[in-house]
Structure 1
Amino acid sequence: MADDKTKTGAADRDRVNVNEDYELQYWTKALGVSADELRAAVKAVGPTAAAVREHLGK
Structure 2
Amino acid sequence: MPDYSRENDSGGLNRINVRNVDEQRHWCEVLGVSAHQLRNAIQVVGPLAEDVERYLCFVRPDGDTEQAAP
CA distance in 1, matches of 2:19, 2:55: 19
- 1:26 is the counterpart of 2:16: no
Where structure 2 has 5 or more consecutive residues not aligned to the other structure, the ranges are: 1-8, 59-70
Aligned residues: 50
Q: Indicate the structure with greater helix content.
A: 1
Alpha-carbon separation, structure 2, partners of 1:52 and 1:16 = 9
Partners of 2:54 and 2:18 in 1: CA distance:
17
Structure 2 Cα separation of the partners of residues 43 and 19 of structure 1:
13
Greater length-normalized contact order (CA 8 Å, ≥ 6 residues apart): 1
Q: Secondary structure at the match of 2:25?
A: helix
Q: Any idea what the Cα deviations from partners look like across 1:9-47, whole Å, max 9, x if unmatched? A: xx42x0111110010000000000000000000000000
Deviation >4 Å, runs of 4+ = none
Q: Which amino acid aligns with 1:45?
A: V
For the pair shown, the structure with the greater C-alpha radius of gyration is 2
